[in-house]
Amino acid sequence: TETRTTAAHGGAIGMHGIKKWFGNFQAVDDVTLDIRSNEFFTLLGPSGCGKTTLLRMIAGFELPTEGQVLLDGVDISSLLPNQRPVNTVFQNYALFPHLTVAENIGFGLKMLGKPRSEIDSVVKDMLKLVHLEGRGGNPVTQLSGGQQQRVALARALAPRPKVLLLDEPLSALDLKLRKSMQMELKRLQTETGITFVFVTHDQEEALTMSDRIAVMSTGTVRQVGSPWDIYDRPAERFVADFIGETNFLEAEVVAVSGDRARVRLSSGAEIPATFPADVTPGGKVTVVIRPEHAQVGTPSPASVLRGIIREIVYLGTDTHFHIRLEDGTTFTVRQQNARSGSCGFSKDDAVGISLSDDVAQILRD
Ligand code: ATP
């Protein structure tokens, strides 16, 4: 609907065989990623895994030791930051405190030598886009943290880059503001059509906003997929563990057919499981089951697992049951509280655990 702010198309980023050494420390180890035009793409991982370094190589602030960065199929590895149609929004906003809101937003365009009338017109559109109409004349220092973040976004979007890089842009905001800015960022991405590459260590933030997520660990990409893939079909232990709470169970493969296997749990029960790599009957595997995909009940022949409740944690919307299984391991069940009052179970109760259909995923070794 916003014709003036709609980019013709967002840029597609290719990172091919990227390695980055700082002296004798390797920060990025052979990363290959294809970020699609127009997508909200997130680099997710713990502190120090190399997210910011990857982002800085897309921006051109850092050069890869090996490998290429492509934009729409063209190698941009040797271009300076200001020669790339890429802009960055930083965590600390980096606004100019002595300038007004409008002057901050128009700054990049002024540097590009754009005429006054064009700058005024784009600034007006940007103020509208980030819901700061009428605030153009204010000193930025008079704005709240959330408003300053919007100015930083408007400033980065004003030159209509093909790609916007966002390095933990919401981490300075309090939780409530952060939630509303998440929605705001998603809207800005959809409305402008610009490719967003977002860096965060917050898994919930990544799941909420992204079209696709790359989960990183120690300089490598462990898995790339939609939020659903990453959460429901984690390929390996690191990904399953990093994205939300989970249960790991040792199991043995009984049969394999297509992309489904039957596995036998330590309780003797057999359940279906999906898998990301080759598995063979007789093989020992680890399966992942999310706590919300299991239910607690009185023990019965239908129970897949049995155990003793060690702890019940009431969390308002749902209740967590920490259960010690017969093999001594702990299993967590998260159940939604359908009604108020007691869940009907107490600590030390013997319970049976049943599973929703098709919820087990075998991990890659
Ligand atoms: P964070 O979330 O903490 O910012 P990150 O995943 O973004 O972490 P990077 O900032 O990319 O991680 O850093 C990856 C690793 O490379 C870290 O161990 C960091 O100390 C190291 N590193 C980054 N920049 C440099 C540099 N200029 N010189 C030396 N080491 C660096």
**Quick one: 194 and 327 in the same domain?**
no
Task: Encode pLDDT of 15-45 as tens digits.
Answer: 999 999 999 999 999 999 999 999 999 999 9
* pLDDT in the model for residue 22: 97
Whether 103 has a pLDDT exceeding 80, the answer reads yes
* pLDDT in the model for residue 173: 80
66 Cα–ligand 1 center, Å: 17
Residue with tokens 């939630």, as numbered in its chain:
179
**Quick one: 39 and 138 in the same domain?**
yes
Which CATH number goes with the domain that contains 328?
A: 2.40.50.140
User: Quick check: 157 and 188 in contact, CB under 8 A?
Assistant: yes
86 Cα–ligand 1 center, Å: 21
* pLDDT in the model for residue 351: 96
The reply to whether 340 falls in a domain is: yes
Of the three residues 237, 254, 278, the one that is the final residue of a domain is 237
The reply to whether 187 falls in a domain is: yes
The reply to whether 156 falls in a domain is: yes
**What are 42's strand-pairing partners?**
198, 213
**Quick one: 310 and 211 in the same domain?**
no
Which atom of ligand 1 is nearest to 20's Cα? 16
**Quick one: 125 and 35 in the same domain?**
yes
**Quick one: 205 and 349 in the same domain?**
no
Per DSSP, the three-state class of 235 is: coil
Mean pLDDT along residues 158-183 = 89
Which atom of ligand 1 is nearest to 55's Cα? 11
Q: pTM for this structure? A: 0.89
Enumerate residues 6+ apart whose C-beta is below 8 A from 340. Answer: none
| Probe target for ligand 1 pocket from 25, 58, 91, 215, with the most ligand atoms within 8 Å of CB | 25
DSSP state, residue 113: T
- The H or E element containing residue 180 is helix 175-192
* Cα distance between residue 21 and residue 57, in whole Å: 12
49 Cα–ligand 1 center, Å: 7
Whether 7 has a pLDDT exceeding 70, the answer reads no
The reply to whether 46 falls in a domain is: yes
* pLDDT in the model for residue 1: 36
Provide ipTM, 2 decimals: 0.95
- How many domains in the chain? 2
Burial of residue 25 (number of CB atoms within 10 Å: 0-12, 13-18, 19+)? exposed
Q: How confident is the model at residue 341 (pLDDT cuts 50, 70, 90)?
A: low
User: Quick check: 28 and 50 in contact, CB under 8 A?
Assistant: yes
CA-nearest of 83, 87, 80, 79 to 55 is 87
Mean residue pLDDT of the chain comes to: 91
Task: State both tokens at 330.
Answer: 């702990």
Residues with a CB atom less than 6 Å from ligand 1: 22, 25, 27, 45, 47-53, 201
Torsion region of 335: left, alpha or beta (phi above 0 gives left; psi -120 to 50 gives alpha)? beta
* Cα distance between residue 275 and residue 222, in whole Å: 16
Rounded percentage of the chain residues whose pLDDT exceeds 70: 97
Whether 337 has a pLDDT exceeding 80, the answer reads yes
Provide the residue range defining the domain that includes 281.
245-357
**Quick one: 187 and 313 in the same domain?**
no
Nearest Cα residue to atom 23 of ligand 1: 53
Which atom of ligand 1 is nearest to 199's Cα? 7
Task: Encode pLDDT of 54-92 as tens digits.
Answer: 999 999 999 999 999 999 999 999 899 989 999 999 877
Q: How confident is the model at residue 350 (pLDDT cuts 50, 70, 90)?
A: very high
CA-nearest of 139, 128, 130 to 96 is 139
Q: How confident is the model at residue 4 (pLDDT cuts 50, 70, 90)?
A: very low
Of the three residues 185, 209, 237, the one that is the final residue of a domain is 237
23 Cα–ligand 1 center, Å: 13
**Quick one: 302 and 232 in the same domain?**
no
**Quick one: 52 and 164 in the same domain?**
yes
Residues in the chain: 365
Which atom of ligand 1 is nearest to 201's Cα? 2
| Probe target for ligand 1 pocket from 18, 21, 22, with the most ligand atoms within 8 Å of CB | 22
Nearest Cα residue to atom 3 of ligand 1: 47
Burial of residue 29 (number of CB atoms within 10 Å: 0-12, 13-18, 19+)? middle
The reply to whether 273 falls in a domain is: yes
Stronger pLDDT, 4 or 345, i.e. the higher one:
345
Rounded percentage of the chain residues whose pLDDT exceeds 90: 75
Residue with tokens 């921006």, as numbered in its chain:
59
Of the three residues 215, 237, 259, the one that is the final residue of a domain is 237
Beta strands in the chain (DSSP E): 13-22, 25-35, 40-44, 66-71, 74-75, 86-89, 163-167, 195-200, 212-217, 220-225, 247-257, 260-265, 270-274, 284-289, 294-297, 305-314, 318-325, 330-336, 350-355, 360-362
